[in-house]
Amino acid sequence: MSRYIAVAGIHGELGKLNSLLSKIKIRHDDIFIFLGDYIDRGPKSKEVVDRLIKLSKTNQCVFLIGASEYTMLNVKNDEYYKWIFENYGGMATIKSYGSYEKIMEIHGDFYRNLNLYCFTEDYFFVHAGINPNYSLDDQDEEDLLYISWNFIDSQHCLPQKIVYAHTDFESPFSLPDKIGIDLGCGIYPYAPLCALIINHGKEKFVYSD
Query: What tens digit of pLDDT does each residue of 18-38 get?
Result: 999 999 999 999 999 999 999
Task: Give just the sign of the alpha carbon dihedral 129, 194, 52, 70.
Answer: positive
DSSP lists the bridge partners of residue 43 as none
How large is the angle between the packed helices 45-55 and 14-24, nearest 10 degrees? Answer: 30
Backbone angles phi, psi at 175, to 5 degrees: -120, 165
Q: In the predicted model, what is the mean pLDDT of residues 162-173? A: 98
CA pair distance 91, 99, nearest whole angstrom: 9
> φ, ψ for residue 203 (rounded to 5)?
-110, 135
pLDDT band at 166 (very low <50, low <70, confident <90, very high): very high
Per-residue pLDDT, 1: 84
Return the SS3 of 149.
helix
**Non-local CB neighbours of 120 within 8 Å, separated by 6+ positions:** 4, 160
Q: Does pLDDT of 83 surpass 90? A: yes
Report how far residue 194's alpha carbon sits from residue 205's, in angstroms, rounded to the nearest whole number: 7
pLDDT at 189: 94
The arithmetic mean of pLDDT across residues 86-93, rounded, is 96
Three-state secondary-structure class, residue 129? coil
Phi, psi of 107 (to 5 degrees): -125, 25
Percentage of the chain lying above the pLDDT 90 cut: 98
d(C-alpha 168, C-alpha 136), whole Å: 24
The whole-number average pLDDT for the span 133-161 is: 96
- Pairing, β 123-126 against β 194-199: unpaired
Could you tell me the CA-to-CA distances from 186 to 24, 43, 126, 135, 203 in Å, in that order?
Answer: 20, 9, 19, 32, 24
pLDDT band at 128 (very low <50, low <70, confident <90, very high): very high
pLDDT band at 93 (very low <50, low <70, confident <90, very high): very high
In the chain, what are the domains? 4-207 (3.60.21.10)
> Does the predicted model carry a pTM greater than 0.85?
yes
pLDDT, position 13: 98
Beta carbons of 41 and 96 less than 8 angstroms apart = no
Query: Mean per-residue pLDDT for 132-147?
Result: 96
Q: What is the mean pLDDT of the chain?
A: 97
Mean pLDDT of 188-192: 96
Give the Cβ contact number of residue 28 at 10 Å. Answer: 8
How far is it, in rounded angstroms, from Cα 56 to Cα 102?
Answer: 22
Classify strands 60-63 and 4-7 as parallel, antiparallel or unpaired.
unpaired
